[in-house]
């Protein structure tokens, strides 16, 4: 059953046409987010101060953002096929992906000190060093649309294959395993490492949350509203709870390791929640495509 969280604040950060998309907590204890339609990176302090950093191309399509090992933020530029970097003082640079038209999307820091990313349009996984050197690994499937990516408890990289209806795993040496999902046309998108040392992911096409163990065992948990279009997911390591956005329903949900689900209505059901992250103040921050960032303090029973 859906209900409102104990506390919610919606913070205006841009015009609705700018499209706040992904969000993460930076090394400076601020919230950093992408504005996919404006070609900007935003920084939001917990005291409400907002800084916006225009990139060198308004149409570059900054998508997913993550902290790097060098104290900067790294992000994918899905429209001009580059990997971007921005310092906490707002100085931006970028590096080209070798394969033309690759469409980089998901990105995460790995334990080898490099950033690993997905290439939606060319069925590849990429690796970039902080010096800008890129290595590409082709997947053994075509038309798979690799989307989100995260580091697993086994130090491998785990990623969703949205159109191949599967979860992938790649080791540092390029060895790849593909795990098909039980539900047809589930269309997985977001993925994160849970507090139980499994990988949790959302199925935007099936309205489900999934869990995959490192041995490949998969469980699926149907959501109350199967048409809610779950999009992104992040874990709270302190509680073991994973939080996810319901893009099509204007809600945020949480799932415990035992599969118990809670849902929380946002004030505007058409707010289009995308990325989310736990902030330095313990609250949950959600990027809303309507030009806002929502701050939630939810209390699970």
Q: Which residues belong to the active site?
A: 274
Whole-number Å distance between alpha carbons of 37 and 30: 22
Instruction: Name the one residue in this structure whose structure tokens are 């690796």.
Output: 127
Q: Is 18 helix (H, G, I), strand (E, B) or coil?
A: helix
Q: Residues 246-256, buried b or exposed e (16+ Cβ, 10 A)?
A: bbbbbbbbbbe
CA 122, CA 301: separation in Å to the nearest integer?
Answer: 44
For 172, which DSSP code? T
Structure tokens given for 146 = 């690799």
Task: Map 54-81 to HEC letters.
Answer: ECCCCCCCEEEEEECCCCCEEEEECCCC
């Amino acid at each position: 059953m859906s209900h409102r969280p104990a506390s919610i604040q919606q913070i205006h950060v841009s015009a609705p046409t700018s499209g706040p998309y992904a969000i993460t907590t930076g090394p400076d204890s601020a919230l950093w987010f992408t504005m996919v339609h404006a070609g900007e990176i935003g920084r939001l302090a917990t005291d409400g101060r907002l800084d916006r950093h225009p990139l060198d191309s308004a149409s570059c399509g900054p998508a997913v953002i993550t902290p790097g090992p060098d104290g900067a933020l790294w992000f994918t530029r899905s429209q001009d096929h580059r990997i971007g970097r921005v310092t906490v003082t707002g100085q931006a640079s970028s590096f080209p992906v070798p394969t033309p038209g690759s469409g980089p999307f998901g990105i995460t820091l790995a334990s080898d000190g490099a950033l690993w990313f997905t290439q939606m349009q060319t069925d590849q996984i990429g690796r970039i060093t902080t010096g800008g050197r890129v290595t590409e690994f082709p997947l053994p499937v075509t038309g798979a649309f690799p989307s989100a990516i995260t580091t697993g408890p086994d130090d491998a990289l785990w990623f969703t294959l949205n159109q191949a209806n599967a979860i992938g795993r790649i080791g540092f040496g390029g060895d790849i395993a593909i795990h098909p999902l039980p539900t047809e046309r589930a269309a997985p998108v977001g993925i994160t490492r849970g507090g139980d040392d499994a990988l949790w992911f959302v199925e935007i096409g099936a309205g489900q949350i999934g869990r995959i163990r490192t041995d490949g065992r998969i469980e699926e948990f149907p959501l109350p509203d199967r048409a809610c279009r779950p999009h992104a997911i992040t874990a709270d390591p302190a509680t073991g709870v994973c939080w996810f956005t319901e893009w099509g329903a204007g809600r945020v949900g949480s799932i415990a390791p035992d599969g118990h689900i809670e849902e929380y209505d946002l004030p505007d059901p058409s707010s289009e929640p995308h990325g989310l992250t736990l902030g330095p103040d313990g609250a949950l921050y959600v990027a809303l495509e309507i030009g806002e960032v929502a701050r939630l303090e939810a209390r699970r029973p």
